[in-house]
C-alpha cells in the first residue's frame, strides 16, 4: 500500500496532480529568467497513513519498480588515522551503474512504466546519463542521453554499452540540458533532467532513509557533493519526510561540498542570491554553471542551518588518493570532494560528532583525473635483478 500523493510547489505552495506532463509549477516557472536556477520546482507530498514504513512513502506502487540492485548501499565506519572516531562512508558507488544517480533513475523508470511511456531522455555531465541508460535497458525502456562532448569517456562508453542513443553536445552540460528539454518537448519523451523532473528529488531521498535505517540514530553531519544541488535537496527531502511522518525528531546538518571552480550554491548561501559562474573543475559531476536545483537547495540549506564549503581541484585529487589508500574505496573526483571538504573543516567539528561522507560515484568512471596524482612504472621489468 502506498499513501496518496500530489505535487506541491516549493515556491508558492500550489498543489498539482502527479502526471507525466507536469514538471515545474506552471505559475512559478513563468517567472524563469535565463541563467538562473529552475523556478517552481515541485516536490511530492503525501497524506500520512498509520502503519507505513519510511520506504513506503513513494509516489509509484512497488509493482512498477524494476527489480534491480539500486540503493541499500553499504555504510561502514572508517579507521582513517587522525579522523573522527565515528566517521562513516555511505558507498553509493555500489549502485548498478556505479553512481548515486541510479536512485533517481529507478523511480523515473517505475513512473514511465506505470504510465506506459516507452522512452526517457536526459541531459547529464555523465553519470545521470549512464545511470538512465542502465536502468532503462534493464526495464525495457528506450533512453536518449545528451552529454557534453568532453564528458569522461568511461561514462559515454557505459551509456553506449547499455544500448542508449548517445548524443554528444557541442558545449557544456548547461547546453545539453537545454537541448534535451527541447528534444523531450518536441518528441513527447519523458525527461529525467535533474531538478526539472520532480521524481529525481524524490528518488534521491532514499539515501537519507537508508541512513536512518542503518544507523542507531541519525548522524550529526553529512557531507554531500553538490553541483546542481539535487542530491542535497533529495537528502533534505528524505530527512524532512522522516520528521514529518513521525519517524525522527531532527534533521542532521548537511554540508554541501562544491569545487572552488563551480561554487554557485556556496556563493548564493553567502550572498543570498545567485550570480552566473563559468565553472571550471576536473570534478566533472559537480561542474555546472547554473545549478538547476539551486533555489531549492538554497531554501533547504537556509531553513535547516546547512553549510556550504568549497575545495580546490588539488585538494580533491589528494583526497581521492588518500581515501583510496586508507579505505580501499576509489571514488571519482566529485565524490572524493566530500573527503577533501571533511578534511578542510575537520578541526571545527566536535570530537564525538557522528559524521557521514556520501560517496556518490566510482573512480573507475574517470581514470584520466586520478592518473594526475599517480606514478606509473617507467619501464617494464624483464628480470628481478633490475629492481632498484
Ligand atoms: C551528479 C553527481 C553529483 C552532484 O549531484 P547534484 O545533484 O548535481 O548536486 C555528485 N557526485 C556524483 C558522482 C554525481 O554523479
Taking CA atoms only, the protein residue closest to ligand 1 atom 10 is 225
226 in ligand 1 pocket by Cβ < 6 Å? yes
224 in ligand 1 pocket by Cβ < 6 Å? no
Asked whether residue 318 is domain-assigned, the answer is yes
Q: CA–CA separation, 368 vs 363, rounded Å? A: 10
Q: What is the pLDDT of residue 243?
A: 97
Q: CA–CA separation, 132 vs 148, rounded Å? A: 16
Which of the listed residues 285, 320, 364 should we mutate to test ligand 1's pocket, taking the one with most ligand atoms within 8 A of CB? 285
Compute the distance from residue 11 Cα to the ligand 1 centre, in Å. Answer: 23
98 in ligand 1 pocket by Cβ < 6 Å? no
290 in ligand 1 pocket by Cβ < 6 Å? no
306 in ligand 1 pocket by Cβ < 6 Å? no
All three cell numbers of 104, joined, read 533517481
228 in ligand 1 pocket by Cβ < 6 Å? yes
Chain-centre distance for alpha carbon 349 = 24
Asked whether residue 256 is domain-assigned, the answer is yes
Q: What is the pLDDT of residue 375?
A: 86
Asked whether residue 381 is domain-assigned, the answer is no
Q: List phi, psi (to 5°) of 134.
A: -65, -50
229 in ligand 1 pocket by Cβ < 6 Å? yes
Beta strands in the chain (DSSP E): 5-9, 15-16, 42-46, 75-77, 86-91, 119-123, 142-148, 165-169, 190-191, 221-225, 253-259, 307-311, 354-359
194 in ligand 1 pocket by Cβ < 6 Å? yes
Q: CA–CA separation, 144 vs 147, rounded Å? A: 10
Read off the pTM. 0.97
Specify the number of domains making up the chain. Answer: 1
101 in ligand 1 pocket by Cβ < 6 Å? yes
Q: What is the pLDDT of residue 79?
A: 87
Query: Which parts of the chain sit beneath pLDDT 50?
Result: none
Point out the ligand 1 atom lying closest to the alpha carbon of residue 229. 9
Question: Crossing angle for the helix pair 102-114 and 127-139, nearest 10 degrees?
Answer: 40
Q: What is the pLDDT of residue 361?
A: 97
Asked whether residue 176 is domain-assigned, the answer is no
102 in ligand 1 pocket by Cβ < 6 Å? no
DSSP 8-state secondary structure symbol assigned to residue 26 = T
Asked whether residue 44 is domain-assigned, the answer is no
285 in ligand 1 pocket by Cβ < 6 Å? yes
Q: What is the pLDDT of residue 100?
A: 98
Q: What is the pLDDT of residue 370?
A: 83
Asked whether residue 253 is domain-assigned, the answer is yes
Chain-centre distance for alpha carbon 193 = 12
294 in ligand 1 pocket by Cβ < 6 Å? no
Asked whether residue 62 is domain-assigned, the answer is no
Which of the listed residues 361, 363, 365, 370 should we mutate to test ligand 1's pocket, taking the one with most ligand atoms within 8 A of CB? 361
All three cell numbers of 93, joined, read 558507488
Asked whether residue 255 is domain-assigned, the answer is yes
Taking CA atoms only, the protein residue closest to ligand 1 atom 2 is 285
Which residues are 221's β-sheet partners?
Answer: 253, 355
**For position 331, which CATH number holds?**
3.40.50.1100
Which of the listed residues 127, 152, 208, 358 should we mutate to test ligand 1's pocket, taking the one with most ligand atoms within 8 A of CB? 127
Q: What is the pLDDT of residue 109?
A: 98
Q: What is the pLDDT of residue 379?
A: 85
Per-residue pLDDT tens over the stretch 294-344: 999 999 999 999 999 999 999 999 999 999 999 999 999 999 999 999 999
Which of the listed residues 155, 257, 360 should we mutate to test ligand 1's pocket, taking the one with most ligand atoms within 8 A of CB? 360
Point out the ligand 1 atom lying closest to the alpha carbon of residue 361. 13
334 in ligand 1 pocket by Cβ < 6 Å? yes
Range of the domain at 236: 75-99+200-373
Contact predicate 369/333, CB 8 Å? yes
Which of the listed residues 38, 41, 99 should we mutate to test ligand 1's pocket, taking the one with most ligand atoms within 8 A of CB? 99
Amino acid at each position: 500500500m502506498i499513501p496518496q500523493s500530489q505535487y506541491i510547489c516549493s515556491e508558492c505552495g500550489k498543489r498539482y496532480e502527479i502526471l507525466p506532463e507536469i514538471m515545474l509549477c506552471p505559475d512559478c516557472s513563468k517567472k524563469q529568467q535565463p541563467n538562473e536556477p529552475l523556478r517552481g520546482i515541485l516536490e511530492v507530498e503525501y497524506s500520512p497513513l498509520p502503519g507505513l514504513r519510511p520506504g513506503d512513502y513513494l509516489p509509484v506502487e512497488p509493482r512498477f519498480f524494476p527489480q534491480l540492485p539500486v540503493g541499500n548501499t553499504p555504510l561502514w565506519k572508517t579507521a582513517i588515522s587522525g579522523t573522527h572516531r565515528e566517521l562513516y562512508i555511505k558507498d553509493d558507488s555500489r549502485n548498478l551503474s556505479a553512481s548515486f544517480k541510479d536512485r533517481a533513475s529507478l523511480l523515473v523508470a517505475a513512473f514511465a512504466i506505470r504510465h506506459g511511456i516507452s522512452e526517457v531522455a536526459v541531459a547529464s555531465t555523465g553519470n545521470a546519463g549512464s545511470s538512465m541508460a542502465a536502468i532503462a535497458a534493464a526495464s525495457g525502456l528506450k533512453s536518449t542521453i545528451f552529454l557534453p562532448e568532453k564528458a569522461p569517456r568511461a561514462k559515454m562508453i557505459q551509456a553506449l554499452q547499455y544500448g542508449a542513443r548517445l548524443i554528444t553536445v557541442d558545449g557544456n552540460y548547461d547546453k545539453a540540458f537545454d537541448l534535451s528539454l527541447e528534444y523531450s518537448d518536441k518528441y513527447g519523451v519523458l525527461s529525467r533532467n535533474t531538478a526539472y523532473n520532480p521524481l529525481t528529488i524524490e528518488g534521491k531521498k532514499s539515501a537519507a532513509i537508508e541512513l536512518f535505517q542503518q544507523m542507531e540514530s541519525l548522524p550529526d553531519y553529512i557531507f554531500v557533493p553538490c553541483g546542481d544541488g539535487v542530491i542535497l535537496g533529495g537528502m533534505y527531502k528524505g530527512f524532512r519526510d522522516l520528521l514529518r511522518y513521525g519517524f525522527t525528531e531532527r534533521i542532521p546538518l548537511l554540508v554541501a561540498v562544491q569545487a572552488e571552480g563551480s561554487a554557485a550554491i556556496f556563493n548564493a548561501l553567502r550572498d543570498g542570491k545567485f550570480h552566473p559562474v563559468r565553472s571550471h573543475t576536473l570534478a566533472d559531476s559537480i561542474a555546472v554553471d547554473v545549478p538547476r536545483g539551486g533555489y531549492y537547495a538554497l531554501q533547504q540549506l537556509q531553513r535547516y542551518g546547512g553549510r556550504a564549503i568549497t575545495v580546490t581541484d588539488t585538494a580533491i585529487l589528494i583526497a581521492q588518493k588518500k581515501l583510496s589508500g586508507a579505505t580501499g574505496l576509489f571514488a571519482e573526483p566529485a565524490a572524493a570532494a566530500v573527503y577533501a571538504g571533511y578534511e578542510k573543516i575537520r578541526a571545527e567539528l566536535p570530537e564525538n560528532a557522528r559524521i557521514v561522507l556520501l560517496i556518490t560515484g566510482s573512480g573507475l568512471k574517470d581514470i584520466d583525473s586520478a592518473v594526475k596524482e599517480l606514478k606509473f612504472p617507467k619501464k617494464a621489468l624483464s628480470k628481478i635483478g633490475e629492481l632498484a
